Structure 1
């Protein structure tokens, strides 16, 4: 009798928009996973899990999925649950401020606060993953933690405390399919023959597919066709980016969340296999920004093209982060906000912060949440929940 392959145990923390979408994709993958969803409201999470089970079973899959109560603010209880579950992989899909929340504001109010860029919300992204990482360390777990909460910055800041997740998801990875499609179109190739190595911070991967330009933000892109490097002389990057935002423009916002969910799932598959797959992801090894990453049996390795050193790649992301409102992340984890972004937050929300340490993130997040709620009410937007 053939012995059953041991299941890879995956703990998904959070069952909101992203966590639910990733659950769907994992449940429908046919892979040998044992999935647990940890949620602060397990009754609601069970409804979402059952939806995933119904959908997967309609497609011929019978995944193993269970729900456990998990409040990340309670580090000791979370650690005890992790000890009990013994997950191989933990996927954090929680944050105190989802990226789409400000998009629910009236147009003028959204545009005013959006000018500050994404980095100003870092405290709210840091709180729950920091608590989760403390629980992982307390449980002495060997689980690989994959973080969805602004990993371009959060992973690097938490590294100073020995709390960095292994890698992040989305962001740079979300831009890769559009680049491959546009390159294939311009080169007259099949998209399956195109591969890329893309290095850039969240700002560029978020803005370029909408604007069609890097707008001066630093990046490095190497394109391959059938394994051979394509010269920039044969593939102008600005033309390439214009096609990403033109011919290959996609639905954005919550309706386009499947791109982030699928990039997260690709990372989780790679981590589960550990067979040397190269996937793009932000915040690997506690680094700032986004990189192509080889996921091997012994860990993660930044996949560098010819002519680019790791120091070069890190420098690109350090310079690119300023476009997202982050001046720097110090070796002690202190996050510095670009003055222009800080000033916008002072003017719009009455929130003043130019720098904060990881151990200050909870106080900063509480103040920021309070200020934002007041701003939303003044702007005439009271309901900021996803449907």
Structure 2
């Protein structure tokens, strides 16, 4: 990262559920940011921006937000607009496949398709952020790109092309508050006294808070109380995770999206301030999975607890990603799905999850969207949003 102007200029790409919620949090934070929302549908963006401004004004803020027409599929035009705006931070909230789309299917159909896990939709998450990163490079922009589109895998695949965003948001970060609350409860401490270092892939970060278990997925968790490491023998992770999914269970789904939006906002604050704050996030430095990250004036650093090496942390995430349907992300960016997930996709929607390189993501995304839409029509749903 490089030095930026006194008032950080943040470009939010997308004004949908996540982008809109992040805009709300930023406007209500009282921080001094110059905010721009980039979107294809300007009228829709205007309505969402004005909603955010109304809400902020009710809370005593009087923010200004600019709106910029932006179509990520047009790399040259995007590069021109980035060169003109010169953002310090770009938050990408755009994807061709929001995670909640398949939840709109009939219950049994959703459960069946969900068994393939989140990784099978990677091509649709990869397309827009890949084009964004090409535009960033074309514009020779020093902006720090924060990616919300399946960063656990997408960032690592794009790293092979030199197109990795700096970091992601959500996922592992969403599990951190519940773990801290549960640990505080078990240790009879105030939550403010509890800190953690948590390493895990997307699968575990959403599965454990819902079920109280890991299904055998690997992870690493170090807990601190008042700055001192809590010995592993003093806190049983099985009980800890059961409390996360029990006493400290939260609203899930779209109604619980504020947790992801607040984790994104925390990351954006950390990137803007560059004060050495530690935040959890996926995909830093083009790595697979999620890590605790120190955001310093000179860049990002994975914050490792005593006794854990970076190679060990990466290995944990590589093994954990298989539970999300990802067999591997190769050095050349090729993404390989597990056979179990591939079989479900073949049998349910007729889609073949064969390995693909980053440059093939658009072709694969188009086919995947078509297969999903066809499946929805067979179920009597003609208006399933797949892009």
* C-alpha deviation, 1:382, in angstroms: 3.4
Q: 1:297 and 2:288 equivalent?
A: no
Structure 2 unaligned segments of length 5 or more: list them: none
Partner residue of 1:280? 280
TM-superposition CA deviations, 1:305-327 (whole Å, max 9, x none) = 00000000000000000000000
| Matched residue count | 382
TM-superposition CA deviations, 1:158-206 (whole Å, max 9, x none) = 0000000000000000000000001111111111110000000000001
Partner residue of 1:257? 257
Partner residue of 1:169? 169
Partner residue of 1:140? 140
* C-alpha deviation, 1:218, in angstroms: 0.3
Partner residue of 2:373? 373
Instruction: Answer whether contact 2:373 2:384 (CA < 8 A) is retained.
Output: no
Partner residue of 2:18? 18
Q: 1:263, 1:216 → 2: CA distance? A: 26
Q: 1:192 and 2:192 equivalent?
A: yes
Instruction: Answer whether contact 1:337 1:355 (CA < 8 A) is retained.
Output: yes
Partner residue of 1:202? 202
Partner residue of 1:307? 307
Instruction: Answer whether contact 1:293 1:300 (CA < 8 A) is retained.
Output: yes
Q: 1:385, 1:156 → 2: CA distance? A: 27
Q: 1:99, 1:203 → 2: CA distance? A: 13
* C-alpha deviation, 1:210, in angstroms: 0.5
Instruction: Answer whether contact 1:106 1:381 (CA < 8 A) is retained.
Output: no
TM-superposition CA deviations, 1:219-276 (whole Å, max 9, x none) = 0000111111111211100100000000000000000000000000000000000000
Structure 1 unaligned segments of length 5 or more: list them: none
Partner residue of 1:340? 340
SS at match of 2:210: helix
Correspondences of 1:314-329 after superposition (within 5 Å): 314-329=314-329
Q: CA RMSD in A?
A: 1.0
SS at match of 1:7: coil
Instruction: Answer whether contact 2:152 2:282 (CA < 8 A) is retained.
Output: yes
TM-score w.r.t. structure 1 length?
Answer: 0.98
Partner residue of 1:219? 219
Partner residue of 2:27? 27
* C-alpha deviation, 1:377, in angstroms: 1.7
Q: 2:280, 2:382 → 1: CA distance? A: 37
Partner residue of 2:86? 86
SS at match of 1:355: coil
Q: 2:55, 2:179 → 1: CA distance? A: 31
* C-alpha deviation, 1:380, in angstroms: 2.9
SS at match of 1:177: helix
Instruction: Answer whether contact 1:338 1:354 (CA < 8 A) is retained.
Output: no
Q: 2:166, 2:178 → 1: CA distance? A: 26
Q: 2:230, 2:374 → 1: CA distance? A: 51
* C-alpha deviation, 1:215, in angstroms: 1.2
Instruction: Answer whether contact 1:12 1:93 (CA < 8 A) is retained.
Output: yes
Instruction: Answer whether contact 1:113 1:348 (CA < 8 A) is retained.
Output: yes
* C-alpha deviation, 1:385, in angstroms: 5.1
* C-alpha deviation, 1:376, in angstroms: 1.3
Q: 1:59, 1:283 → 2: CA distance? A: 34
Q: 2:318, 2:51 → 1: CA distance? A: 41
